Chain A
Amino acid sequence: MAKATTVAHVREILDAVTDPEIPVLTIAGLGILRAVELSDDGSVVVTITPTYSGCPAMSVIVEDIKSALHGAGLDRVEVRTVFTPAWTTDWMTDDAKQKIAAFGIAPPGAVGSIPATILCPQCASTETKTVSEFGSTACKALLVCSECLEPFDYFKAI
């Protein structure tokens, strides 16, 4: 017997599901959680969209969503993946941007090319430069701070 629930309750449970590569970032904060719906038969339908076409974290995220909801007693869960509209970093919430900055990853600016100044997440210096347009995961670029000399990740704006 499936437990009765509400969309708000499901969203609350899903707030514990994070990006496996960036554990401070929830899937809602990242902007990849597109919809939560309850079917007439009582099952939960969660819709997500990939950040990058080949993001290897997607299958882990699908499993994490299922296990979080199963853990809360919701047995019938379906996770759907959609491509349209295509994900953009503009969907990342301000709260999420603050969290990743505190985690050491410079948050994305508005969509376009790499902005003229990206603040160093360690010392807040504006003297930073791009080392590589591609970083440790598909969603990040690698930068270095000229002031504190620390290398850091920048969440690419796409």
Chain B
Amino acid sequence: MNTATVTTPLARYVVRLADDNLILGQRLAEYISEAPELEEDLAIGNLSLDHIGVAMHLYEYAATLGDSSTTADKLSFLRTEREFTNVLLVEQPHAGFGDVIARQFFFSAYQTLLWEALASSADTILAGISAKALKESTYHLRHAASWVVRLGDGTDESHDRMQAAIDSLWRFTGELFESDDLCAEMVISGAGTDPAALQVPWDTKVAAVLREATLTRPTDPYQATGGRTGMHTEHLGYMLAEMQWMQRTYPDMEW
């Protein structure tokens, strides 16, 4: 069967969390070999691996909640762009190292708060995956924040480029904190958390790092949205085409 669907609210919620991680993991993997130094190539590879690992565990869990023909691989490789429900931030392409770091910084600051909340989820499997992911995200945030400070409070050139990356990705941060019916349902069941409640602590964390980095917190009120309902920026389609072509060309192939 060449499709993959999940229908229960919990499964859709878990897939949403997984999609964020898979897409960011893939984006990071694209950057390996392009970092400014070898150590950062290793770091980016490790970050990518962590996100893909979390995605794998979440998809595997979601697959157990759906019909028996759904698998983690099918959820990853056989859904179309409109079926992915990741936030727009993680699918944004990067022109340079500053973009990679800004995207990771915003997202890891959000994920540390998200996993912390979900570690006490009423759903014990989701709680276990979250408690594990929290340790990794804490490390990711420390790494990204240290680069934001190093580049922001560095030379005039690095400062300007870091500021430009922060400014250009800022419009994708609001979506991280949008609640919808599914979130509300998950809050009621005790499995999920309300993302809106994470915004103030996120802003406090982010503002403190930007201040230390001598960078200006953007104030642009425009915020893009749509990822959670499958309305993506044009970049996701190209990414999926590359990520999925093998499985679509040779259905059910395994390494």
Report B-chain residues with C-beta under 8 Å of the C-beta of A132: 39-40, 42-43
Residue of A nearest to B40 (CB): A132
* Contact pick for B56, options A54, A85, A134, A158, CB 8 Å: A54
B54 within 8 A of A: yes
A138 at interface, CB cutoff 8 A: yes
Interface core residue of A50, A113, A132 (most chain B CB under 10 Å): A132
Complex alpha-carbon distance, A53 and B46, angstroms: 11
Q: Looking across the interface, which residue of chain A has its beta carbon closest to that of B38?
A: A132
Residues of B contacting A37 with CB < 8 Å? Answer: none
Q: Out of B50, B131, B132, B142, name the residue touching A113 (CB < 8 Å).
A: B142
B246 → A minimal CB distance (Å): 18
Q: How far is the CA of A137 from the CA of B57 in the complex (A)?
A: 19
Chain A hits for B134, CB < 8 A? 86
Once the chains bind, are B139 and A133 in contact (CB under 8 Å)? yes
- Mark each residue of chain A from 121 to 158: 1 if its CB lies under 8 Å from any CB of chain B, else 0: 00000000001111111100010000000000000101
State whether the Cβ of A55 lies closer than 8 Å to any Cβ in chain B.
Answer: yes
Residues of chain B within 8 A (CB-CB) of A86 are: 128, 131-132, 134-135
> Given B47, B53, B132, which contacts A87 in the complex, CB threshold below 8 Å?
B132
Residue on B nearest A134 in the bound complex, by CB: B43
Residue B189 at the chain A interface, CB threshold 8 Å: no
Q: Bound complex: CA of A134 vs CA of B57, how far in Å? A: 22
Interface presence of A82 (CB below 8 A): yes
How far apart are A152's CB and chain B's nearest CB, in angstroms? Answer: 13
Q: B124 interface residue, CB < 8 Å from A?
A: yes
Closest-by-CB residue of B relative to A54 is B53
- Is the CB–CB distance between B128 and A83 below 8 Å? yes
Q: Is the CB of A52 within 8 A of B131?
A: no
Flag if B52 contacts A142 (CB, 8 Å).
no
A54 to B23, CA, bound (A): 15
Known contacts A54-B54, A134-B143; is A82 also within 8 Å of B43 by CB?
A: no
A84 on the B face (CB < 8 A): yes
Q: Which of B11-63 contact A (CB under 8 A)?
A: 25, 39-40, 42-43, 45-54, 56-57
| Residues in A neighbouring B73, C-beta threshold 8 A | none
Q: Does A23 contact B (CB under 8 A)?
A: no
Q: CA of A32 to CA of B46 in the docked complex: distance in angstroms?
A: 20
B136 at the interface (CB under 8 A from A): yes
Q: Cβ of A54 and Cβ of B42 under 8 Å apart?
A: no
Instruction: Give the nearest-CB partner of B135 in chain A.
Output: A158
List residues of chain B with CB within 8 A of the CB of A133.
43, 139, 142-143, 146
Q: Does B101 contact A (CB under 8 A)?
A: no
Q: Let me know if A138 and B50 touch, CB within 8 A.
A: yes
Determine if A142 and B39 form an interchain contact, defined as CB atoms under 8 angstroms apart: yes
CB pair B47–A83 under 8 Å, yes or no, is no
Q: B42 near A56 (CB under 8 angstroms)?
A: no
Q: What separation, in Å, do the CA atoms of A108 and B69 have in the docked complex?
A: 43
- B125: chain A residues within 8 A (beta carbon): 83
* Chain A residues, Cβ within 8 Å of B124: 84
Name the CB-closest residue of A to B48. A54
B53 touches A53 (CB 8 A): yes
Query: What's the Cα separation between A71 and B154 when bound, in Å?
Result: 58
A143 CB to nearest B CB, Å: 11
Chain B proximity of A63: nearest CB distance (Å): 14
Whether A83 and B50, one on each chain, are in contact in the complex, defined by CB atoms closer than 8 angstroms, is: no
Partner of B129, one of A83, A87, A134, A158: A83
For the complex, give the distance between the alpha carbons of A142 and B42 in Å: 10
Instruction: Check A54 against B43 for contact (C-beta < 8 Å).
Output: no
Say yes or no: A53 contacts B47, CB within 8 Å: no
Within 8 A of A (CB), among B139-164: 139, 142-143, 146
A-side residues, CB < 8 A to B, are 50, 52-56, 82-88, 113, 131-138, 142, 156, 158
In the A-B complex, the 5 residue pairs with the closest CB atoms: A54-B53, A53-B53, A132-B39, A83-B128, A134-B43
Chosen A-B contacts, 5 in total, with CB atoms closer than 8 Å, are A54-B48, A54-B51, A84-B131, A131-B39, A133-B143
